[in-house]
Chains A and B, each alone.
Chain A
Amino acid sequence: MKIVVCIKQVPDTSDIKWTENNTIQREGLESVMNPYDVYALEAALKLKKSYDNIEITTLSMGPLQAGDMLKKTLALGVDNAILLSDRKFAAADTYATGKTIGTAIKQKLPDFDLIICGQFAIDGDTAQTGPSIANTLNIPQVTYIQEIISSENGELKVRRELDDGTEIVKVKLPALICMLQDYFEPARARINGIIKAQNSEITTYGLDDIGLLPEEAGLRGSPTYVSKAFRPEPKNTECVFVNSAEELAEKIQICKGGKND
């Protein structure tokens, strides 16, 4: 089975600083692998552990520095890594991103069986790119997956976690799935993996390599655009500090709207 894991490099959103002009200070911003994509990668590695003949390719779209993140996935046991990097891909919205990644997979990895994405990316938090890739490739999707139960006879059985309950769903491959989470031990880099990662080059493709036109990618290929970006207004609340659990209990009682004598 050939698995493609889509990975996004995101800024560490807990550590954002502002410039004087109220824009995000991008220099020196720490980049991390999107946490939900870590779950996607772990799910693929878990499948590789449980079944024979599994080949994993990690794929990312972003600046050249995202190649380092892809190298780390090789150290964890991933077989190949592809970086889609081109200035013409820049500032893509989810539609253009889905189209670019979908087209790249169609062109470069046409015999894939399974695409695994994270359910969300913590920077944009749209949850749209996975389904958009699936639609571009005209394949089924299953979102909000908590666990991959089994993979047999060209079908995947998964457990979805939804607000009103859990679903057990069977999907025919090829398909795209979005991982919410899974409980497993995080994979650790192995020595031969690290050596392999050091010696490997990340395959990089640009716009021409995947046969897209400039008007189909990046900002030009995006139906949406940002007209205004601004800092949210801080809520101005004066916090009244209390000094004991007793006083706090009293405040809770008042806020609950109950009696207090």
Chain B
Amino acid sequence: MTKEILIYAEVTRDNYIHTVFFELANKAQELAEKLDEAEVNALLISPKGLAADYREAFKNSGISKIYVCEDDRLKTYSTEYFTKAAVEIAKEVQPEILLLGATNQGRDLAPRISTALHTGLTADCTGLDINEKGQLAATRPTFGGQLMATILCKNLPQMATVRPKVFKPAEKDNIKPADIIYKTVNLDEIEKKVELLEFHKKLTTEINELDSAEIIVAGGRGMKNADGFKLLKEFADKIGAAVGASRAAVEMGLASHDMQVGQTGKTVTPKLYIACGISGAIQHTIGMDKSEKIIAINKDEKAPIFEIADFGLAGDVFEILPELLKYKALTEDASWKKLP
């Protein structure tokens, strides 16, 4: 029997397949080669009639089959319905490995699926491999990123979640379109106890573009107060950057959780990351140390952030940021001169 690696294809609220699916699909191809040429397939849970449209979106992901559970009750995400659908399909398909993105939805859904299937789940992996015994070797940071652990699972499917941007999506042309296989799951027996009353989409100006930003300006404990973050925001706006924060800044109430970079926040890989008043605890740096270039401003020249920075300035951010705001060239491709 052909072994299967199943990847959950999360449908976003505006009906796109989440980018993390393509990253996982690409990684899974690599795993499949080490797993007796296993098949890489997708699990799609969606309202009726969309699977055919999605077939196009799955191009280039290299998957063979799309297992689809379609029902109009699956229009918006619900832990209860989606768990039921995923569990039933996983029981039938019996994949060796089941992967999900560590998104809000993935982190809500994955542990319900794994508990229902009596199997193990490794969260937020930064490395996936197949070992010499054909097992999924899932590596993840733990203890605030100070320790890496490679975790194996005794039961099937071996489950793992991976954050967006940890792996790269495929860059190959479509080989052949995937087959759509419809699966019927009886949702009638589910008594739905959670009801979505309202959804307030963030305005474009409020959406934190950390995931896609080319430049991120992030603040930590050293930004001290709301005024500090206002200054940071002003600087970020000026150079066209998204604003990030360390956990300390979030705990101080200076920034919201969706701005948090690091272990309990996001993983980011911008072209340039400017860390302001961030000491560089490993639980923060683990979420940003793959940035192309890192610039750090901190008053303590011995702060660990400088160990991973390309350029650093030891000094007071409250003096340096206003100074930087004076350089017109930072905001435009204008001549390099300081404004009066």
Q: State yes or no: do A and B come from one complex.
A: yes
Interface of A toward B, CB cutoff 8 Å = 11, 13-14, 16, 24, 35-36, 93-95, 98-99, 120, 122-132, 134-136, 139-144, 146, 157, 161-172, 175, 180-181, 183, 222-232, 234-235, 237, 239-253, 255-261
Bound Cα distance A100, B274 (Å): 44
Contacts of A251 in B (CB 8 A): 295, 311
Contacts of A239 in B (CB 8 A): 296, 306-312
Which of chain B's residues 249-266 have a Cβ closer than 8 Å to chain A?
250-251, 253, 256-258, 263-264
Bound Cα distance A170, B197 (Å): 7
Tell me whether B123 is interfacial, beta carbon within 8 Å.
Answer: yes
Contacting pair B119 A95 (CB below 8 A)? yes
Bound Cα distance A1, B150 (Å): 42
Contacting pair B115 A248 (CB below 8 A)? no
Q: How many residues of B contact A (CB 8 A)?
A: 96
Shortest CB distance A153–B (Å) = 13
Shortest CB distance A116–B (Å) = 16
Known contacts A167-B198, A169-B197, A227-B151; is-contact A123 B111 (Cβ 8 Å): no
Contacts of A235 in B (CB 8 A): 289, 307-308
Contacts of B272 in A (CB 8 A): 252, 255-256
Known contacts A164-B13, A239-B307; is-contact A131 B119 (Cβ 8 Å): no
Tell me whether B112 is interfacial, beta carbon within 8 Å.
Answer: yes
Contacting pair A258 B195 (CB below 8 A)? no
Contacts of A261 in B (CB 8 A): 335-336
Contacting pair B307 A230 (CB below 8 A)? no
- Selected from A99, A227, A241, the residue in CB contact (under 8 A) with B313 is A241
Contacting pair B271 A257 (CB below 8 A)? yes
- Selected from B120, B250, B338, the residue in CB contact (under 8 A) with A95 is B120
Contacting pair B115 A252 (CB below 8 A)? no
Bound Cα distance A261, B336 (Å): 6
Known contacts A164-B13, A164-B202, A252-B295; is-contact A95 B121 (Cβ 8 Å): yes
Known contacts A127-B123, A249-B324; is-contact A140 B155 (Cβ 8 Å): no
Bound Cα distance A257, B270 (Å): 13
Contacting pair B111 A131 (CB below 8 A)? yes
Shortest CB distance B175–A (Å) = 32
Contacting pair B314 A241 (CB below 8 A)? yes
Shortest CB distance B16–A (Å) = 11
Shortest CB distance B194–A (Å) = 5
Contacts of A225 in B (CB 8 A): 151-152, 154
Shortest CB distance B130–A (Å) = 13
Shortest CB distance B139–A (Å) = 8
Contacting pair B264 A125 (CB below 8 A)? yes
Bound Cα distance A107, B208 (Å): 44
Known contacts A225-B151, A239-B306; is-contact A161 B256 (Cβ 8 Å): yes
Contacting pair B313 A24 (CB below 8 A)? no
Known contacts A140-B79, A162-B104, A255-B271; is-contact A223 B120 (Cβ 8 Å): yes
- Selected from B112, B131, B195, the residue in CB contact (under 8 A) with A141 is B112
